[in-house]
Structure 1
Amino acid sequence: MTVTVPGPTLGVVGGGQLGRMLAEAASPLGVDIVVLDPTPDCPAAAVADQIVGDFDDPDAMAELAARADALTFEIELADPDLLDELADKEGIAVHPSPDALRTIEDKLVQKRTFGDADIPIPPFHRVDDADDLRAALDEFGSVMLKARTGGYDGRGNVPVTDPAEAEAAIEAVGGPAMAEAFVDFERELSVIGVRGEGEIRTFPVGENVHEDEILRETIVPARTTDEVREEANRVAREVLSHLPGRGVFGIELFETSDGEVLVNEVAPRPHNSGHWTIEGALCSQFEQHVRAVLGWPLGATTRRAPTVSANILGTVEESQPARLSGVEAPLSEPGVSLHWYGKDEVRPLRKMGHLTAVGEVAGHSPAANQNAERSGDDGATVEELLERARALRDGLSFD
């Protein structure tokens, strides 16, 4: 393989914050990005060309393919059948494979695929109606009812403990669903994995803190044992081996009270829990995705230092124009970076940006940093970095 710059053009289905950060990572590589998104002036449009169109619009997708040398997606609403059709008719490479998207976009298919491969997962039950849900409750005691498609950030997820709640829960998820047994977990973990041309790499295991089923912070390294981190990495690699095509995958996991690691959900794209890699790793998840999709050599997944990322969510009661105040504090803090997603409107709990706090490990090579698990030379443990990131994030406000 020969790589030259300026490089090819990468077409991306979706132009939200992930598309924006993909474009920011692609530019230094000499790779141009064009995105397809139905929202005019979407977040990625500030740093990439945009085609305005629906994700399932054949004409818009054909235009995207005509302007690109390869295609990828940053949202599971991409149509895998249309992507396959473009690959066949236009001869354009699509990564990750549309088959990977088909597997992952339906949570029931995803769970069945991993279960058939003996990958550890929580017990689950298909739910088409209230009787199915009551049967799951009878089997598991209490469940998380999940919409099979389209759910994210807690949307489409309903906890159910009482059979009398079955009809209301079915109505709340709004369609075909899956009931997953509640897991008695110690913490939620994630691994950002990369499939390249004939190779798999993984970033260090992160620990995710959720509230109301929305990710608030990611802590790297995860505050768990070496054995659990090793098992999480092993499970993540097993997942990657069963998903076709090249690219980055976000793999969410549960660490149970007895140290077992179970797969929660997988995303076939860069993931919120991998945003820490922009400052905290030698090569970010976004640059890795660009490299992988194009078939270029992958970068190092080595962690630079202990790192914490904290999401900036909409702290408003109703939608309003987005204007963030208090940013001088994080901008003044050494080792802290601010990322603004460029959304014009802030809504309750909408992801608007994130902060990253990175410690320092002086006198160590990058390889040594991978094993320096607890603190940097500035004395900051991951707990102190978490406290710092939270305080700075909570000091921000929307006018």
Structure 2
Amino acid sequence: MTPPLSTPGPTLGVVGGGQLGRMLGEAAGPLGIELIVLDPTPECPASPVVRDQIVGEFDDEEAVRELADRSDYLTFEIELADPDLLERLETAADVPVHPSPDTLRTIQDKLVQKDTLTEAGIPVPEYRPVDDAAELRAALDEFGTPAMVKAREGGYDGRGNVPIESPDDAESVLDSIAGPAMVEKFVDFERELSVIGVKGDEEVATFTTGENVHREEILRETIVPARASEDVLERARSVARDVLGLMDGRGVYGIELFETEEGEILVNEIAPRPHNSGHWTIEGAVTSQFEQHVRAVTGRPLGSTEQRDPTVMTNILGDVDETQPAELHGLDEILSTPRAALHWYGKRDVRPLRKMGHLTLTDSGVDPDEPAGSPDQLLARARDLRDAVTFTEG
């Protein structure tokens, strides 16, 4: 049973205070839940909307211990959290950690993640661990090129993923990864999909399947619902629920998928936290992924995952050549467009292709005098709005 509300309310400690921490803070306030975040960057993006920030590295034992001592619940918004430390503190400080540290440990190593999925019979692209250039070349003889070489640890949101076009590039690609690696066979996919799933106490739910557009390994847009057949969408939901069945601990999980040309679904990667491809849920769903995560990790009932309207989310990325103070120009068109919503992450500096914010556009935002447009119209209009803003005007 959910305890009664009081002031101050319960405190949720979050390892990580980037844009995900910021949006978790925005979602927690109306529920009467206060956030404290731990992040190495002073005045991190989450800091204006949470009760307090502890400045420290994600694996700083003293800092994480302070976070646990000041919190009723613990979670994380970045995979760089230390699962061993969280596991120790869960016992020592008697504070529940969700998702479980063991789930984080499994997902942090992409090879272990893929092995876990394979052992459970969940379909994934063909893959091999590679310890040196000779092993990589041998795998490429089997898989062909292009292929994708991935850092097993430390990579998330496209970081640590390096496409390889020729066996001659094996040494240089592995040098760029500089650590344990794996290689995946190239999937000639029809589209990239994602399902945001959430686990509560005896509850499992999924949001509407989204379609993702990546370029240079960075998510550019998410279109919801995905432009795929109902059979494919149902298969994606089914695979996502199978994945959720493997995960231990409450919370939101971002499940990235490939739809093959034959209509099959393969799991690409899993994030044990709110995910960029779920940002559309703030305006486009009854309950956002951020509110769902706060509800889940604090043991509260889940909200509805029903989609309100067709929605497109597009990231606002740094369009600069070098790091400079962040100053976004050209906001009038976004702010004057019905059913367009701007989300600014509060980062002080902009770097090339850095995620600085996002915008969403929901159905009749295409034209307030017309009924809802097609997904393609909605996507085109969202791109126009995104392209109207820039960090380079001077």
TM-score after normalising by structure 1: 0.95
Identity value in percent = 65
Instruction: Provide the C-alpha distance between the structure 2 equivalents of 1:307 and 1:297, rounded to a whole number of angstroms.
Output: 25
- Is 1:52 matched with 2:55? yes
Matched residue, 2:120: 117
* Further displaced range: 193-202 or 378-387: 378-387
1:184 corresponds to 2:188: yes
Report how far residue 379 of structure 1 moved: 3.2
User: Counterpart in 2 of 1:80?
Assistant: 83
Could you give the per-residue CA deviations for residues 122-149 of structure 1, whole angstroms, max 9, x where no partner exists? 0000011111101110111122000011
> Counterpart of 1:93 in 2: which secondary structure?
coil
Summarize the alignment of residues 148-187 of structure 1 with structure 2, pairs less than 5 Å apart. Answer: 148-187=152-191
Q: Report Cα offsets for 1:141-175 as digits up to 9, x if no partner.
A: 12200001112343311112322111111101111
Distance 1:3 1:325 in 2: 45
For 1:394, the aligned partner's letter is D
SS in 2 for 1:317: coil
2:269 is aligned to 265
Instruction: Please tell me the root mean square deviation across aligned C-alpha atoms, in Å.
Output: 1.2
Q: How does 1:287-366 map to 2 (within 5 A)?
A: 287-360=291-364
Q: Tell me the SS of whatever aligns to 2:212.
A: strand
- 8 Å contact kept, 1:137–1:161: no
Counterpart in the other structure of 1:367: none
Contact 1:275 1:309 in 2 (8 A): yes
Mind listing any 5+ residue stretches in structure 1 that lack a counterpart? 362-375
Q: Does the aligned pair in 1 maintain the 2:193–2:210 contact within 8 Å? A: yes
User: Does the CA-based 8 Å contact 1:136-1:179 persist in structure 2?
Assistant: yes
The equivalent residue for 1:4 is 4
Task: Tell me whether 251-260 or 351-360 shows the greater mean CA deviation.
Answer: 351-360
* Counterpart residue number, 1:369: none
Q: Per the alignment, do residues 267 and 67 of structure 1 end up closer, same or farther by CA in structure 2, a change over 3 Å counting?
A: same
Verify: 1:389 aligned to 2:382, yes or no.
Answer: yes
- Give the corresponding residue for 1:372: none
Aligned to 2:31: 29
Q: Identify unmatched segments of 5+ residues in structure 2.
A: none
Q: Take 1:204 and 1:341, find their aligned partners in 2: how far apart are those partners?
A: 25
- The alpha-carbon deviation at position 377 of structure 1 amounts to 6.3
Of 138, 141, 154, which residue of structure 1 is paired with 2:141?
A: 138
Give distance in 2, aligned partners of 1:106 and 1:171.
19
> Is the 2:79–2:156 contact (alpha carbons within 8 Å) kept by the matching residues of 1?
no
Counterpart AA for 2:53? Q
Cα distance change on mapping 1:333 and 1:90 into 2, 3 Å:
same
Q: Give 3-state SS (helix, strand or coil) of 2:46's partner.
A: helix
Once the two structures are overlaid, the 10-residue window that deviates more, 283-292 or 164-173, is 164-173
Of 189-198 and 352-361, the range deviating more from structure 2: 352-361
Maintained 8 Å contact 2:235/2:265: yes
State how many pairs are aligned: 385
Query: Taking structure 2 as the reference length, what is the TM-score of the superposition?
Result: 0.96
Aligned with 1:152: secondary structure? coil
Per the TM alignment, residue 360 of structure 1 is displaced from its structure 2 partner at its CA by 4.9
